[in-house]
Chains A and B, each alone.
Chain A
Amino acid sequence: MSDLHDLYQEVILDHNKQPRNFKKLEDATQSAEGYNPLCGDRLTIYLHMEGDVIREIGFEGSGCAISKASASVMTTCVKGQSKSRVEALFEKFHEMVTGHSDIQKVSAEVGKLAVFSGVSEFPMRVKCATLAWHTLRAALQGKKDFAPVSTEDES
């Protein structure tokens, strides 16, 4: 049972029940919609950018505990960060949840995102954890009328 509690850690359950920044930004400068066709999870990320920096972020949508908590924790981590810092964080996060890195080492580098390290034991749930990040990256590209980013586009 230890595995399950690695996945569903208290912090994750808390963010699932009370997601942070769970709102539409009325003054968003850009946004993107994300979709996981395998399970039907959907979310929209709203950004208010000041130059290269995320000044404000919000999200809306429905999904499983992992995808919702991942979106929520992500918003708290990237607020005030630059695009390049977000890219670097995503890379480490992705390495961690896909089990392609030394968990101990990378956990120290990703701060509170480390609560998602248990996802690496559940390969079928990796897409739940990364949906918000893929959507954020699409929003950062700032294209209007962007087709929803899909977890199935991931290589």
Chain B
Amino acid sequence: MSKSFNIEKIRRDFPILHEKIRGKPLVYLDSAATSQKPQVVIEALKHYYQTENSNIHRGVHYLSGVATRAYEGARAKVQHFLNAQSLREIIFVRGTTEAINLVAQSYGRTKVKKGDEIIISAMEHHSNIVPWQMLCEQTGALLKVIPINNEGELLMEAYEKMLSEKTRLVSIAHISNALGSINPVKKMIEIAHRHGVPVLVDGAQAVPHRPVDVQELDCDFYAFSGHKLFAPTGVGVLYGKEKFLNAMPPYQGGGDMISAVTFEKTTYNVLPYKFEAGTPNIAGVIGLGIAIDYVHSVGLDQIAPYENDLLHEATQRLLEIPGVRIIGTAREKASVISFIMEGAHPHDIGTILDQEGVAIRTGHHCAMPLMDRFHIPATARASLAFYNTQEEIDLLVKSLHHVKEVLGV
């Protein structure tokens, strides 16, 4: 474990980690579903509503100015966090799902036509499948799916062969929510660009675990959700290269996204406001800015090594339990352990662990095609964040032995 990583202090920063569940300390191993929030983020919401609440980009009054500066300040923090070239490239949305729908409908509806192809992969979350299926239905385009091997790694040769002059976009998860596989997105973007094809990266599972540099990746779009990054729910980010965003029509119409409206014609606002119709989640955006500050204070470069040690240890310990099989054994993996246990359905595992205060996710993880690929209906999934500890892994393992006792397997 890295020496300067002060886990005791970090755990003190998250009030919910000191809650008792059914009289037992909470062991929260479901951060891939949503992360817990540090006190500073909770306080930021309260502070905003108690002292700054006002609508942005509108009033000339004092509070409107304060709220606007706080909101736009968060945009600058996101720009720095992703190393985007410009503030105009940072669009606030509700979450990764909305970001992908925005690109599918705005970019897709104008650039994709009958017979064109969109490439995704076999390990995508439903939010990176369904928006493209909808687009294909609307336009007559085809959805192509990059296959994976039994370890849960993309077959890169198949991917290269799939790209053609018909391909309009590649949309790919940076890290799989169900398997933990880290996809070689930089290489995939390079290959796509050789064919002149833009790439959207679904970064929902990546940003909480490692530094992301959109210029270094050279991705054309990058999407993530605040709530998985220790920020409030209902806020997320779409990064897009300015040349694409400029050429795209608005996704929704309304206030704030216009510069002039008459009944005859409306002139749209400049970037990024063109894509932010209506009053946004102001408190959520401010909370996201504070969450990013918090992640920087923990140290982005420290998080991955700490979590990797934890992941490695947890993997070893789980494999020592007879009958446990891990689904997703990619060489490059992050913070997610999906597993099945002989004789115990994931749903039963989830209920029994819950009685011990251990919170895991069970089910198809919004990746039903992926479950079909592995011929399983569901898995149990323990997912880690930097606030998890060795002791919690011990409790997970102990509880899994208890599952075997209760179910008699």
Contacts and interface: CB of A to CB of B under 8 A. Distances in A.
Contact of A41 (B371, B377, B406): B377
A64 B379 CA distance: 12
A7 B368 contact: no
B162 interface: no
Contacts of A63: 345, 347, 377
Contact of B347 (A3, A5, A13, A64): A64
B348 A42 contact: no
A4 interface: yes
Contacts of A111: none
Interface in B357-375: 362-364, 368, 371
Interface in B83-126: none
A64 B345 contact: yes
B16 interface: no
A38 B351 contact: no
B169 to A, nearest CB: 29
Interface size class for chain B?
A: 10 to 19
B355 interface: yes
Contacts of A122: 351
A8 interface: yes
A42 to B, nearest CB: 7
Contacts of B347: 39, 41, 63-64, 66, 125, 128
B355 A3 contact: yes
A62 interface: yes
B368 A40 contact: yes
B10 interface: no
A106 B408 CA distance: 29
Interface string A106-119: 00000000000000
Contact of B407 (A41, A62, A65): A65
Contact of A40 (B348, B377, B407): B377
B286 interface: no
A104 to B, nearest CB: 24
11 contacts: A8-B352, A8-B407, A39-B378, A40-B371, A40-B378, A42-B377, A63-B345, A64-B346, A65-B345, A65-B348, A66-B348
Interface of A: 1, 3-5, 7-8, 13, 16-17, 38-42, 62-66, 68, 122, 124-125, 128
Given A39-B364, A40-B363, 12 more contacts: A17-B408, A38-B363, A39-B363, A40-B368, A62-B377, A63-B347, A63-B377, A64-B348, A65-B344, A65-B345, A65-B348, A125-B351
